[in-house]
Amino acid sequence: MIKAEQKPMEEILRSIDPYKKILLSGCGACVTVCHAGGEKEVLLLASALRMARKKIGKPLEILEATPSRQCEPEYAQELSELSEKVEAILSLACGVGVQTLVRFFPKMPVLPGVNTTFLGETLSHGIWEERCQACGNCILEKTGGICPISRCAKQLLNGPCGGSSKGKCEIKKEADCAWQLIYDRLSSLGQLYKLEEIIPAKRWGIESRDSGLRRIIREDLKI
């Protein structure tokens, strides 16, 4: 899922400084799971912002809402009525959710309250780690299910760089070397022969972000 972190309080306060009444909108999906922008975080941040503004003598009125998924038009539309009563929207959804609101409310300033950080996995409660960079052409079948694009600092496709030590990355000492993980995994599966296949360089300009905005169109689903 998408992982995010709440922006520093100073930055949020600065962005809402011109407004007296805002809508604070969370999202019931990914950012709820990573505790960055769910219903609880909306209530907590709203309370903190009101108190911060009260202290400096500039009271702030906040409407609170948490649609199930802010990145889906049907749910984003739920905010229409509330948006008419405010001067700006502070969104705790990921960058996608923020831009969905921008599309729906063209005359309303929509401000981000979180930094969308990565696509990751929950390691344990309160700890998340990156697992996918949405590169557009998954090679997990060839690497035992361990992604060298997201987990190797150098994004190497055909074996380790030689700088790892005792299974740890030389760039980030606390991180496992992705290629050590790949080797161990393929070894335990009895599939080390897969390492003999050369993985060609990724076509970043065709499959990935380098060619500009990506879009998926499913003709069978279009209405």
Partner 1 sequence: MVDFDPKIIAFCCDQSGYPSADMAGSLRLNIPKNVEMVRVPCAGRVEALYLLKALEKGADGVVLFACYEENCQYLRGNLRARGRLSYIHRLMEKIGLEKERIEICYLATNSGVKLVETLQRKTEELKRLGPNPCSEGK
Which spans of this chain sit near partner 1 (rule: CB under 8 A)?
A: 8-10, 40, 43-44, 47-52, 54-56
Main-chain phi, psi angles of 79, to 5 degrees = -85, -5
Q: What is the residue type of 217?
A: I
Q: Which is nearer to partner 1, 40 or 85 (CB)?
A: 40
State in angstroms the smallest separation of the CB of 126 from partner 1.
Answer: 9
Torsion angle defined by CA atoms of residues 79, 60, 45 and 120, in that order, rounded to the nearest 10 degrees: 50
Q: Which helix (H) or strand (E) holds 204?
A: helix 204-207
Question: Which of these, 181, 186, 157, 154, lies nearest to 168 by C-alpha position?
Answer: 181
Q: Which is nearer to partner 1, 51 or 134 (CB)?
A: 51
Q: Which is nearer to partner 1, 45 or 195 (CB)?
A: 45
Q: Which is nearer to partner 1, 122 or 187 (CB)?
A: 122
Structural contact between residues 114 and 7, judged by C-beta atoms closer than 8 angstroms: yes
Structural contact between residues 21 and 60, judged by C-beta atoms closer than 8 angstroms: yes
Q: Which is nearer to partner 1, 50 or 131 (CB)?
A: 50
Q: Which is nearer to partner 1, 23 or 46 (CB)?
A: 46
Q: What is the DSSP letter of 166?
A: T
State in angstroms the smallest separation of the CB of 47 from partner 1.
Answer: 5
State in angstroms the smallest separation of the CB of 58 from partner 1.
Answer: 12
Three-state DSSP at 25 gives strand
Burial (CB count <10 Å: 0-12, 13-18, 19+), residue 124: exposed
Pairing state between β 88-91 and 114-124:
unpaired
